[in-house]
Amino acid sequence: MKTVRVYRADTIAAASHMKNVLAQYEITAEIRNDCLLSLAGSIPIGESLVELWVKALDFRRATDLVKATLDPVHSEKIKIWVCENCSEEVEEYFAVCWSCGAISN
């Protein structure tokens, strides 16, 4: 399964928090580079940040959730529709259920 980086943080706590936020939406994220923070200052800052990686399939949802979490005031609240086929909750900007592929009404 292809994975992509969705978030970078300067603390493990921040990365863990975001991982938990994504988990609430059933997005599995993996923390990487968590052992490089101790090298901050001796390697370029961009290489010492803690990274959060998700499956490519989850990237768009995860990106929106990260943005909404970092800036809840300026991010529009994510609206949900419930799939009539499988009862999955799907963010409104998706016309197709991410779980079963049914089309929104």
Residues that bind Zn ion (CB under 5 A): 83, 85-86, 88, 97, 99-100, 102
Interatomic CA distance for residues 9 and 76, integer angstroms: 23
Nearer to Zn ion, 66 or 83 (CB): 83
Question: Shortest gap between Cβ of 86 and Zn ion (angstroms)?
Answer: 3
Interatomic CA distance for residues 94 and 43, integer angstroms: 40
Q: What are the structure tokens assigned to 84, written together? A: 């009539």
Q: Count CA atoms within 13 Å of residue 25 on its CB side.
A: 24
Question: Shortest gap between Cβ of 92 and Zn ion (angstroms)?
Answer: 14
Nearer to Zn ion, 49 or 83 (CB): 83
Question: Shortest gap between Cβ of 98 and Zn ion (angstroms)?
Answer: 8
Alpha helices in 1-105, H assignment, sequence order: 12-24, 45-48, 59-70
Nearer to Zn ion, 49 or 97 (CB): 97
